[in-house]
Structure 1
Amino acid sequence: MKFAISYSTPFYGVDPEKLVGYAQHAESCGFESLYLPEHIVLYPGAMFGQSEIPPTLPYADPLDCLSFVAAATRRILLGTGVLLLPYHHPVTLAKRLATIDVLSKGRMRLLTVGLGTLPGEARAVGVDFASRGRRADESIDVLRLLWGGGEEGVSFHGEFFDFDDLCSFPKPYGVTQLPIHVGGSSRAAARRAGRRGDGYFPGGALTPQERAGQLDLARSTAARAGRDPDAIEYTRWGSIDMSTERVEALAAEGVTRVVVGAGSTEPERQRDELSAFAERFGLLDSRVDQPGPGPG
């Protein structure tokens, strides 16, 4: 089992010293990776389920934050949970992600993408909310095409993106592709993970039966697409106070990574929570005190 930590800027704030201190302490504790969420814009009346989202929550740009963190850390992998893929142009995004990966020496390896649930957010960036799923699918294809292309250039002609003979450099650090995980709480997300994802990261508000059904759907979709279903990583949310028994139960369900977040907003208390978690699960014993994965 791999253990990751999340940093929620809407609740912890965007103080640079707190962000860096959190990431550095997580790295020293032996956490594998650090995840940040995304909302591009909010607005009065935006809803998450039955709850209104306060429009003043400070959702910082996750990729800018991860680049900032990368400069202050050595080993911890960088992730998004989730990046709203339909609201980014994939040609620009391919360059941003590859740049972070190069500058961090191969640590931008846990990109998790989702569709977004706020129609007003889609309107704000000029994206048709109803077609955002198809747009995300094309974006994944464009990202991989650009990362894998050479000096002769690559071309793409789709519903949303159209170009000829483009070259995108630098390439990711030592690899031809960056992993793309798919997040979401729907069967459509599970199918997307099976067709195109390197991993699946479902949301939190699902019944055990629906979770199991979605994982089966992701794997069966991968098999039908000629992909290896066992190669799809399975990430789930957990809690900072979760027990070893709970982690064992998740492992039995096929989970390969658990993401938790500190319950406190106070840095000292956050450090205590991360340290206690790391001690409970032996992260310090398995820590590797060297830079990230590097080429290969």
Structure 2
Amino acid sequence: MANIQIGFHIDGDVWEPEQITQVEDHGFDILTTGEHILFFRPILDTVTVLAYAAAVTKKIKLLPSTLILPLRHPTMMAKELTSIDILSKGRLIASVGIGGDYPREFEACGVPMNERGVRANEGIEIMRKYWSGERFDYDGRIFQLKDVDMLPPPHQTGGPPLWVCGRSDPAMKRAAKYGNGWQPYMYTADQVAESITKVKDFAADIGRELDDDFAFTTFMYVSMHDDAQEARNRAIEQLSYRFNMPFEKIVDKYCAYGPADKIIESLSEYVAAGTNHIIVALVMPEEERMDYVAKFAEEILPALQRMQTV
């Protein structure tokens, strides 16, 4: 058994260097940021934000949550991630998904939506080959490469751990075949448990034994307030904006809210389901964000980090 790792998500928003440093100082294990190229609300480029964070932190792990891999050429993606891994001295975790919830960005990048899966699979294979440090050829359906290699190699031998994000069976199969972790998005605890079983089964089907440190991750929005109803209302308002859709009917499934003990109880259900990494995104006013980070770190974070995987 091992203790749960806790990540803090800054959601592609602008954070000052000292604010990012405080997240690390509060004891979070991972810093994550979001990804969209075009979107209906402002959001920064995740690679740029992680490089920025790498420069002002020393020990916290860095995670894109989540790179939309089909929108990027894997040669460029491998180079950018290698650079962050080197500059952070091996603190990078790569998380990739296929996207698709905002088709306009696929149109803008000239990428057909129906190629998302194959582009992701080939992209992962190509990045892994670059990170091996060897010269190689690649003849795929989308990408063809001849006698290529990439120097310098990543700080981490073989490249950063690679998590696969998604919600579907094909994404779970991708995690089972290529990944060092599975990162479902907007799942209930029951869905997490079911998906963990599926990933393990898919791995067994291809003869792969998952490592003991394979990451099974939960991403969760958290709204803190001593009045649970007020916390719920704030979550509905913020998440309706962030997802550009009504959230009142689904907020109870995808957000832990209320006072500290209620939030801890909600998140513990995911640990019981098999989660060993929890990424939290706080619902909070921008002007009070560091007060909220400190409150979470004082009242909730220690209890989560004391939990152990089942």
TM-score by structure 1 length? 0.82
Report if aligned partners of 1:3, 1:33 keep a CA contact under 8 Å in 2.
yes
Q: Report what 1:223 is aligned to.
A: 204
Quote how far apart the aligned CAs of 1:239 are.
3.7
Report if aligned partners of 1:219, 1:230 keep a CA contact under 8 Å in 2.
no
Render the CA deviation track for 1:108-166: whole Å, top value 9, x for unaligned: 12x2111112222212212121121011001000000011033xx11111111111211
Equivalent-residue separation in structure 2 for 1:208 and 1:249 (angstroms)? 6
Among 5, 8, 26, the residue aligned to 2:8:
5
Quote how far apart the aligned CAs of 1:282 are.
5.4
- State the AA in 2 paired with 1:172: P
Q: Is 2:25 aligned against 1:28?
A: yes
- State the AA in 1 paired with 2:38: V
Q: Report what 1:99 is aligned to.
A: 83
Q: Is 2:42 aligned against 1:40?
A: no
Q: Report what 1:62 is aligned to.
A: 46
Equivalent-residue separation in structure 2 for 1:256 and 1:249 (angstroms)? 12
Equivalent-residue separation in structure 2 for 1:145 and 1:265 (angstroms)? 43
Equivalent-residue separation in structure 2 for 1:144 and 1:275 (angstroms)? 38
Aligned residues: 262
Report if aligned partners of 1:29, 1:283 keep a CA contact under 8 Å in 2.
no
Q: Report what 1:293 is aligned to.
A: none
State the SS of the aligned residue for 2:283.
coil
Quote how far apart the aligned CAs of 1:207 are.
5.0
State the SS of the aligned residue for 1:238.
strand
Report if aligned partners of 2:190, 2:273 keep a CA contact under 8 Å in 1.
no
State the SS of the aligned residue for 1:107.
coil
Q: Is 2:264 aligned against 1:244?
A: yes
Report if aligned partners of 2:70, 2:119 keep a CA contact under 8 Å in 1.
yes
- State the AA in 2 paired with 1:23: I
Quote how far apart the aligned CAs of 1:21 are.
2.8
Q: Report what 2:216 is aligned to.
A: 234
Equivalent-residue separation in structure 2 for 1:139 and 1:155 (angstroms)? 14
Equivalent-residue separation in structure 2 for 1:66 and 1:92 (angstroms)? 16
Quote how far apart the aligned CAs of 1:94 are.
0.6
5+ residue gaps, structure 2: 225-255, 257-262, 306-310
Quote how far apart the aligned CAs of 1:265 are.
3.2
Quote how far apart the aligned CAs of 1:185 are.
1.6
Matched-pair identity in %: 31
Q: Report what 1:157 is aligned to.
A: 139
